[in-house]
Amino acid sequence: MKATNRPCPSCRAETTLGVVQDSSGQDDPLEVTLRALPVLRCAQGHTHFVTIDFPRKLLEHLVKEDERQLPAAEKKGLIFKHFLCADCGEELLPKPDHRHMFEVDLDLPDVAPFVVQLSMPVYRCSGCAKEQLHSLIEIQSHTPGALAKAFEAAGIAREG
């Protein structure tokens, strides 16, 4: 933690650390929920990221580290796409089973720990029943959009 917060980027007033309990954003098929997101608040009620590069760092961490750990199928076929189980190689059932929520604990430098929930459709393997995503790249590509909407829902003001 830094000793002093940065001043409010909207009005230059002093800020205090605050928390937004729950804010969600959806970019189909992905829904992102930020839980206990640390923010800065000023006396005029502006809400801002704790650091200016916070959104970039969070996005990078999610896409490059956390989402890569999610169970994802292998895609086969150029015209007729098949999704094969990453564990046993059997085909996945054609329809999503349900939406599954994956929870990620974020511990970024200079920011109090918080939780990100990633909710997306999962498909069940016809062989071993393991649930997995169709495509990791798809989920990664929807992450910036879903995050932007979650920040909007949190009432975070634009800056820069």
Asked if 81 and 100 touch (Cβ cutoff 8 Å), the reply is no
In sequence order, the 6+-apart residues with CB closer than 8 A to the CB of 64 are: none
Q: Hunting for tokens 């069940």 — which residue is that?
A: 124
Using rule CB under 5 A, residue 87 touches Zn ion: yes
The reply to whether 20 sits near Zn ion by the rule CB under 5 A is: no
Closest approach of Cβ 86 to Zn ion, in Å?
Answer: 8
Would you say 64 and 127 are in contact if contact means Cβ atoms under 8 Å apart? no
Nearer to Zn ion by Cβ, of 126 and 141: the residue is: 126
Q: Cβ distance 120 to 138 under 8 Å?
A: no
Is 127 an interacting residue with respect to Zn ion (CB under 5 A)? Answer: yes
- Which run of H or E residues covers position 21? strand 15-27
Does 155 participate in binding Zn ion (rule CB under 5 A)? no
Distances (CA, A) of 36 to 8, 20, 27, 136, 142: 20, 5, 21, 26, 22
Among 17, 36, 128, 137, the residue binding Zn ion under the rule CB under 5 A is 128
Binds Zn ion by CB under 5 A, chosen from 42, 62, 118, 156: 42
Q: Does 120 bind Zn ion (CB under 5 A)?
A: no
* Cis peptide bond upstream of 144, omega within 30: no
92 scored as a contact of Zn ion (CB under 5 A)? no
Q: Is residue 11 at the binding interface for Zn ion, with CB under 5 A as the rule?
A: yes
State which of residues 41, 46, 134, 142 lies at the interface with Zn ion (CB under 5 A).
46
Size of the site for Zn ion (CB under 5 A): 15
Binding site for Zn ion (CB under 5 A): 8, 10-11, 13, 42, 44, 46, 85, 87-88, 90, 125, 127-128, 130
